[in-house]
Chain A
Amino acid sequence: MHLDILVYGFIQSCALLLMAFGFSLVYGVSRLPNFAHGALYVLTGFVAWALFKQAGLPYPLAAGLSILISGLLGVAIYYVVLRRVRGMEVSEVIATYAIGLAVLEGLRYAGFRGGSYSLPALSDGVVFIFDVPVDHQRVWLVALGLFMVVAIWLFTRYTRVGRSLKGMAQDERAAMMLGIDSDRTAALAVGLGSMMAGIAALIIFPLGSLVVEEGYKVLIYAIAVCVVGGLGSWPGTVVASFVLGYSQYITVSYGKPHYQMVVMLLAIIVTLVIRPSGFFGKQKQLEERV
Chain B
Amino acid sequence: MGAPVMEQKRKERIDRGIKVRSETLYALSSWEEIGYLITPRVLFIAAFLLMPILLSPWPYWSRVGLSMCILALLAISFDFLANYVGLVCLGGAFFYGVGGYTSALLNTQLGLPPMLAIPIATLIGAFLCTAMLAPCLPLRGIYFAIVTLMYPLLMTRLIEAMDILGGTEGFRGIEGFSSPWTEQYGLIFGLFFFLFGLRRLVNEDQGLVIRAVKDNDQSVRASGISVTWTKTKAVFLASLPGCFAGAYYIHMYSNVGISAFALDLSIMPIAATVIGGGGTLIGPVIGAALLVPLSEALRDFGSLRIVVYALVLTGFVVFRSEGIMNVVSRKYQQFERWVKV
Do A and B touch, yes or no (CB under 8 Å, in the complex)? yes
Q: Is the CB of B142 within 8 A of A90?
A: yes
Q: Pick out which of these stretches binds chain A: B156-164, B179-187, B240-248.
A: B156-164
Contact of A90 among B88, B154, B314 (CB under 8 A): B88
Contact of B147 among A33, A261, A269, A287 (CB under 8 A): A269
Indicate if B304 sits at the interface (CB-CB under 8 A): yes
Contact of B303 among A80, A85, A108, A216 (CB under 8 A): A108
The B-contacting residues of A in range 85-132, CB under 8 angstroms, are 85, 89-95, 97-99, 101-102, 105-106, 108-109
Q: Is the CB of B154 within 8 A of A269?
A: yes
Contact pattern, B 289-319, Cβ under 8 Å of A = 1, otherwise 0: 0000000000001111011001101100111
Indicate if A273 sits at the interface (CB-CB under 8 A): yes
Indicate if B256 sits at the interface (CB-CB under 8 A): no
Contact of A91 among B154, B161, B303, B317 (CB under 8 A): B317
The A-contacting residues of B in range 75-98, CB under 8 angstroms, are 82, 88, 90
Q: Is the CB of B90 within 8 A of A93?
A: yes
Contact of B140 among A93, A268, A290 (CB under 8 A): A290
CB of A226 to closest CB in B, whole Å? 10
Complex CA gap A69/B288 in Å reads 36
Complex CA gap A97/B310 in Å reads 9
Q: Is the CB of B313 within 8 A of A109?
A: no
Q: Is the CB of A265 within 8 A of B153?
A: yes
Q: For residue A290, which residues in chain B have a CB less than 8 angstroms away from its CB?
A: 138, 140, 217, 221, 227-228
Smallest Cβ-Cβ distance to B311: which chain A residue: A102
CB of B204 to closest CB in A, whole Å? 23
Q: Is the CB of A272 within 8 A of B143?
A: yes
Contact pattern, A 278-290, Cβ under 8 Å of B = 1, otherwise 0: 0000000001111
Indicate if A220 sits at the interface (CB-CB under 8 A): yes
Indicate if A67 sits at the interface (CB-CB under 8 A): no
Indicate if B135 sits at the interface (CB-CB under 8 A): yes
Contact of A276 among B139, B150, B263, B301 (CB under 8 A): B139
Secondary structure type dominating chain A contacts: helix
- Tell whether A101 pairs with B141 under 8 Å between CB atoms, given A84-B320, A272-B147: no
Complex CA gap A106/B309 in Å reads 12
Indicate if A160 sits at the interface (CB-CB under 8 A): no
Q: Is the CB of A90 within 8 A of B140?
A: no
Q: For residue B82, which residues in chain A have a CB less than 8 angstroms away from its CB?
A: 90
Q: Which residues of A contact B (CB under 8 A)?
A: 33, 80-81, 84-85, 89-95, 97-99, 101-102, 105-106, 108-109, 216, 220, 223, 227, 256, 258-259, 261-262, 265-266, 268-269, 272-273, 276, 287-290
Given A80-B318, A98-B317, A108-B303: 5 more A-B contacts, CB < 8 Å: A93-B90, A98-B310, A99-B310, A102-B310, A109-B304
Of the A-B pairs whose beta carbons lie under 8 Å apart in the complex, a sample of 20, sorted by A's number, is A91-B317, A91-B320, A93-B142, A94-B90, A95-B313, A95-B314, A97-B90, A98-B313, A101-B307, A102-B306, A106-B303, A109-B301, A259-B161, A268-B147, A269-B147, A272-B139, A272-B146, A273-B139, A273-B147, A276-B143
